[in-house]
Amino acid sequence: MARSPADRRALAPDMLTAREAKAEHDALGAEIAEHDRRYHGEDAPIISDADYDALRRRFEAIEARFPDLTAEVSDARGVGARPSEKFAKVRHRVPMLSLGNVFSPDEVEEFVDRVRRFLDWPADRVLAFTAEPKIDGLSCSLRYEAGRLVVAATRGDGEEGEDVTVNVRTIGEVPQVLAGEGIPPVLEVRGEVYMTKPDFAAMNARQEAEGKPLFANPRNAAAGSLRQLDSRITAARPLRFFAYAWGEVQGSMPAPTQSGMVAAFARLGLPTNPLMRRCESTADMLAHYRAIEEQRASLPYDIDGVVYKVDDLDLQRRLGFVSRSPRWAAAHKFPAEKATTLLLGIDIQVGRTGSLTPVARLQPVTVGGVVVTNATLHNEDEIARRDIRIGDTVVVQRAGDVIPQILGHVAEKRPAGAQPYAFPTLCPACGSHAVREIDPKTGKEDVVRRCTGGLVCPAQAVERLKHFASRNALDIEGLGDKQIETFYRDGLITRPQDIFTLEARDARSLKRLKDREGYGETSTRNLFAAIAARRNVALHRLIFALGIRHVGETTGKLLARHFRSMEALRDTAVAASETGSPALAELTAIDGIGPVVAESIVDFFGEPHNREVVAELLEHVTPEPPEEVASESPVAGKTVVFTGSLEKMTREEAKAMAERLGAKVASSVSKKTDLVVAGPGAGSKLAAAQALGIQTLDEDGWLELVGGAAG
């Protein structure tokens, strides 16, 4: 009998079969990549640092037991997340890598022993390390040329970051011009942008007084402040910087050691951490770790561990790198802090995609110097597995000082009559069915229960409206996130079809638009013109705009090509819900539409209110069917990936051309990829294609291949 994913994760890697290991490795890789995107790309983590570390350690342990899996392409081996499209890109001359983690004195000993073995360094010979606090902020690189700051960039995915030069120039601690002598012609300084606890508290107090949303913690506040499109907002935020590393250096190195380089940074006018210390033994390293841990609560900034680095730079160069981390450095993470309190209730929050997330309502308790009143319970299976009941005394952990979580309950303190928690099967926001999807391959239920209310669920409404008007959906110019939030709050737009009736409504609504929302005559006229321009829209855009779970841009195009009208898609989906209907087979027979996607489409159109929204939309919008696909082209039926910069056409034009020629355009490289078109700046995708032996072409080669078919 096949073991479930939960059962597999309970086993040591050496107890897994090769097939089980691959399945878990693939699942972990996808999960880690998603958490990287949320943490580094959106500054919005949904799990604690400790949970993330556990996922990555499990991933690496499986690879250690099954080395063949390391040959597979996985986003989990990346660093950070892809840089946002909102900012210009900066290519790092020297990659910005992350650190491997250790969690106990024994693991610190193992780390030092590995370094000695690699260097063939005898046990009686001093091997010095630096030890410094691990600041919980946002990694940033500062490039100085002739002593002047010319570019500042975030880490991004380690290879390419976001250009935040204008914003960094507003940070008072960052010198625009380096001081002193012996400055290399090019010096790329790396460090952490952060916010102190007192500054964070004062800023949140101002936010509260002004009726604005509060920030979750100093790390998210610092990251969000640095990544503002308006540098005036960044300038108003109390950001600080610590320098502790470097990238490209042209000319002589200022010092031959790690500690010497940091001292040189201080002489040049860069802020450095005074708690960094040089240690000549493992005992010294652990003693400094304990000393910093004791000071943790009283430090003015958040830290989550201590970083050890081999001090001698020549030894660092000899040690080099392994995978995503340097061999010569490690982060010794602090253990999570815990406390006990009463579970007063369980609230259900409905997310943007309809996910029902249980949140524990707690009797306030201080954990790690912060008052905690709520904690995540993850999902209904976790509640059942840990047998959490309302009224329990529970153990709360604030791992990584980010998201509190419930570890379990204190059995002897359970009140008499406490009942197991019954997870709701109806959405608490709109009353629609909340379902757990079935994986057709395993027959197992998804761990997340989701509302099927879609477009009419108020908990999802604002985010779905943003998606509906977004660039790759309806692309309504002038109807951005802030405008939608305001219009929804004031009742002007609550459903997608309201967008197209805005101009035709009574004068009172228009007066509110002009007076309350700050729209003048010109901006109001421009908004109405932009809305009118989208009354004729490509069918695939309208399908994508509906926000059906699992239906992205590519799937929207597949559905548009097959059905060629919204009515045909709707009628087939409705018919597919009937037992024995051939309509479901028609959906799943479409290349690229599997059982999971088909079920999402059927569930969406199975809700009467979703059909009502679509019907009303079709009264105002005319979907245009796609162009006929060229079935005789040289790329018909092939999967194509575009990467790097294209110089003769935009990325959207290239995708449209490929799809018109019958190709399927994918965003990532896999064994199913047939062709990769790589422009200047192509990075990991090109490397993955070469490793897998996939055909690669430059832009000219692509145009030559498709030739006359492209016309």
**Claim to verify: residue 200 and residue 219 sit in the same structural domain:** yes
Q: Residue for token digits 């990544």?
A: 227
- Render the burial of 541-567: b for 16+ CB within 10 Å, e for the rest: bbbbbbbbbbbebbbbbbbbbbbbebe
Cβ atoms < 10 Å from Cβ of 582:
12
Which comes out higher in pLDDT, residue 197 or 187?
A: 187
Long-range Cβ contacts of 561-570 (<8 Å, 24+ apart)? 561/626, 561/629, 562/590, 564/539, 564/625, 564/626, 565/539, 565/623, 565/625, 566/539, 566/542, 566/614, 566/618, 566/623, 567/618, 569/543, 569/601, 569/605, 570/605, 570/611, 570/614
Tally: H helices and E strands in the chain? 26, 26
- Name residues whose C-beta falls within 8 Å of residue 480's C-beta, 6 or more positions apart in sequence: 469
Angle among Cα 196, 152, 268 to the nearest 5 degrees reads 75
42 pLDDT above the threshold of 60: no
Residue 192 host element (H or E): strand 186-194
89, part of any domain = no
Q: What is the pLDDT of residue 71?
A: 53
Which of the four pLDDT bands, split at 50, 70 and 90, describes residue 67? low
Q: What is the pLDDT of residue 388?
A: 95
User: Stretch 462-487: mean pLDDT, rounded?
Assistant: 88
* Residue 512 dihedral angles phi and psi, to the nearest 5°: -65, -40
Q: Which of 93-102, 111-120, 196-205, 209-218 has the lowest mean pLDDT?
A: 209-218
Which of the four pLDDT bands, split at 50, 70 and 90, describes residue 8? low
Q: What is the pLDDT of residue 157?
A: 79
User: Stretch 499-521: mean pLDDT, rounded?
Assistant: 70
**What is the DSSP code string of 4-69?**
PHHHHHTS-GGGS-HHHHHHHHHHHHHHHHHHHIIIIISS--SS-HHHHHHHHHHHHHHHHHSGGG
172 pLDDT above the threshold of 80: yes
From the centroid of its chain, how far is CA 225? 17
Residue 545 host element (H or E): helix 539-545
User: For residue 480, which amino acid is it?
Assistant: G
From the centroid of its chain, how far is CA 226? 17
**Claim to verify: residue 366 and residue 322 sit in the same structural domain:** no
Domain of 572, CATH number, reads: 1.10.150.20
**Claim to verify: residue 168 and residue 312 sit in the same structural domain:** yes
**Claim to verify: residue 202 and residue 298 sit in the same structural domain:** yes
Cβ atoms < 10 Å from Cβ of 424:
15
User: For residue 595, which amino acid is it?
Assistant: P
Positions marked active-site: 134
Greatest mean pLDDT among 18-22, 237-241, 433-437, 506-510: 237-241
Q: What is the pLDDT of residue 515?
A: 62
- Cα distance between residue 149 and residue 155, in whole Å: 17
425, part of any domain = no
Cβ atoms < 10 Å from Cβ of 667:
12
189 pLDDT above the threshold of 90: yes
Q: What is the pLDDT of residue 318?
A: 94
Domain of 688, CATH number, reads: 3.40.50.10190
Q: Is 569 exposed, middle or buried (0-12, 13-18, 19+ CB in 10 A)?
A: buried
Contact 226, 239 (CB under 8 A): yes
User: Stretch 558-572: mean pLDDT, rounded?
Assistant: 92
365, part of any domain = yes
Q: What is the pLDDT of residue 397?
A: 83
Contact 349, 359 (CB under 8 A): yes
**Claim to verify: residue 51 and residue 109 sit in the same structural domain:** no
Q: What is the pLDDT of residue 55?
A: 76
Which of the four pLDDT bands, split at 50, 70 and 90, describes residue 401? very low
* Residue 290 dihedral angles phi and psi, to the nearest 5°: -65, -35
Listed residue (93, 188, 95) closest to 147, CA to CA: 188
Which of the four pLDDT bands, split at 50, 70 and 90, describes residue 82? very low
Instruction: Dihedral sign for Cα 277, 281, 284, 285, please.
Output: positive
Which of the four pLDDT bands, split at 50, 70 and 90, describes residue 79? very low
399 pLDDT above the threshold of 60: no
- Cα distance between residue 5 and residue 55, in whole Å: 13
Q: Is 587 exposed, middle or buried (0-12, 13-18, 19+ CB in 10 A)?
A: buried
Which comes out higher in pLDDT, residue 18 or 550?
A: 550
User: Stretch 192-205: mean pLDDT, rounded?
Assistant: 90
- Cα distance between residue 397 and residue 367, in whole Å: 7
User: Which of 299, 315, 333 is a domain's end point?
Assistant: 333
Q: What is the pLDDT of residue 4?
A: 54
665, part of any domain = yes
Q: What is the pLDDT of residue 84?
A: 41
* Each residue's pLDDT tens digit, 300-328: 898 889 999 999 999 999 999 886 789 99
Domain of 198, CATH number, reads: 3.30.470.30
* Each residue's pLDDT tens digit, 670-709: 888 899 998 887 777 888 888 888 999 988 888 888 875 5
Total domains in the fold of the chain: 5
83 pLDDT above the threshold of 60: no
* Residue 145 dihedral angles phi and psi, to the nearest 5°: -120, 125
Q: What is the pLDDT of residue 370?
A: 67
Maximum CA pair distance of the chain?
86
Beta-bridged to residue 451, according to DSSP, are 434
- Cα distance between residue 407 and residue 48, in whole Å: 12
**Claim to verify: residue 324 and residue 248 sit in the same structural domain:** yes
Q: Which of 68-82, 91-105, 415-429, 577-591 has the lowest mean pLDDT?
A: 68-82
**Claim to verify: residue 161 and residue 181 sit in the same structural domain:** yes
From the centroid of its chain, how far is CA 560? 29
User: For residue 628, which amino acid is it?
Assistant: E
Domain of 404, CATH number, reads: 2.40.50.140
- Cα distance between residue 175 and residue 168, in whole Å: 10
Domain of 17, CATH number, reads: 1.10.287.610
What is the arrangement of strands in the sheet containing 695-697, beginning at the earlier edge strand?
664-666, 639-643, 675-678, 695-697
- Ramachandran assignment for 32, one of left (phi > 0), alpha (psi -120 to 50 degrees), beta (any other): alpha
Q: Which domain holds residue 477?
A: 454-624
Name the token pair of 258.
Answer: 């790690």
* Each residue's pLDDT tens digit, 201-211: 888 888 878 77
Q: Which of 14-23, 543-552, 683-692 has the lowest mean pLDDT?
A: 14-23
**Claim to verify: residue 114 and residue 32 sit in the same structural domain:** no
Q: Residue for token digits 């996985």?
A: 74
Cβ atoms < 10 Å from Cβ of 125:
8
Instruction: Dihedral sign for Cα 534, 535, 537, 542, please.
Output: positive
Q: What is the pLDDT of residue 25?
A: 78
**Claim to verify: residue 606 and residue 487 sit in the same structural domain:** yes
Reduced to 3 states, what is the DSSP secondary structure of residue 494? coil
420 pLDDT above the threshold of 90: yes
Q: What is the pTM of this model?
A: 0.47
Q: Is 206 exposed, middle or buried (0-12, 13-18, 19+ CB in 10 A)?
A: exposed
**What is the DSSP code string of 163-205?**
B-HHHHTT-TTS-SB--SS---SEEEEEEEEE--HHHHHHHHH
265, part of any domain = yes
Q: What is the pLDDT of residue 512?
A: 64
* Residue 316 dihedral angles phi and psi, to the nearest 5°: -60, -45
Alpha carbon separation from 258 to 126, 147, 254 (Å, rounded): 16, 20, 10
- Cα distance between residue 419 and residue 253, in whole Å: 66
pLDDT above 90: percentage of residues in the chain: 39
Q: What is the pLDDT of residue 24?
A: 78
* Each residue's pLDDT tens digit, 602-644: 989 998 989 999 999 999 999 998 877 666 788 888 889 888 8
Cα torsion 626, 627, 633, 638 to 10°: value is -10
**What is the DSSP code string of 404-453?**
-EEEEE-GGGPPTTPPPP---SB-TTT--BEE--B-TTT-PBPSS-EE--
User: Stretch 644-661: mean pLDDT, rounded?
Assistant: 80
Q: Is 594 exposed, middle or buried (0-12, 13-18, 19+ CB in 10 A)?
A: middle
**Claim to verify: residue 132 and residue 207 sit in the same structural domain:** yes
User: Stretch 172-191: mean pLDDT, rounded?
Assistant: 94
- Count CA atoms closer than 13 A to 511's CA, side-chain side: 3
- Ramachandran assignment for 234, one of left (phi > 0), alpha (psi -120 to 50 degrees), beta (any other): alpha
89 pLDDT above the threshold of 50: yes
660, part of any domain = yes
Q: Which of 436-440, 559-563, 623-627 has the lowest mean pLDDT?
A: 436-440
Name the token pair of 696.
Answer: 């690669």
User: Stretch 567-587: mean pLDDT, rounded?
Assistant: 90
**Claim to verify: residue 137 and residue 12 sit in the same structural domain:** no
Strands 639-643 and 664-666 come out as parallel
User: Stretch 160-166: mean pLDDT, rounded?
Assistant: 91
Strands 329-333 and 101-102 come out as parallel
* Each residue's pLDDT tens digit, 236-293: 899 999 999 999 999 999 999 999 999 999 999 999 999 999 999 999 999 999 999 8
Q: What is the pLDDT of residue 197?
A: 87
447, part of any domain = no
Strands 675-678 and 639-643 come out as parallel
1 pLDDT above the threshold of 60: no
354, part of any domain = yes
Q: What is the pLDDT of residue 346?
A: 96
16 pLDDT above the threshold of 80: no
Q: What is the pLDDT of residue 661?
A: 84
Q: What is the pLDDT of residue 78?
A: 47
- Cα distance between residue 39 and residue 331, in whole Å: 18
Alpha carbon separation from 574 to 195, 431, 457, 602 (Å, rounded): 53, 20, 20, 6
**Claim to verify: residue 525 and residue 645 sit in the same structural domain:** no
Angle among Cα 54, 57, 62 to the nearest 5 degrees reads 125
Which comes out higher in pLDDT, residue 58 or 1?
A: 58
User: Which of 595, 624, 653 is a domain's end point?
Assistant: 624
User: Which of 569, 589, 624 is a domain's end point?
Assistant: 624
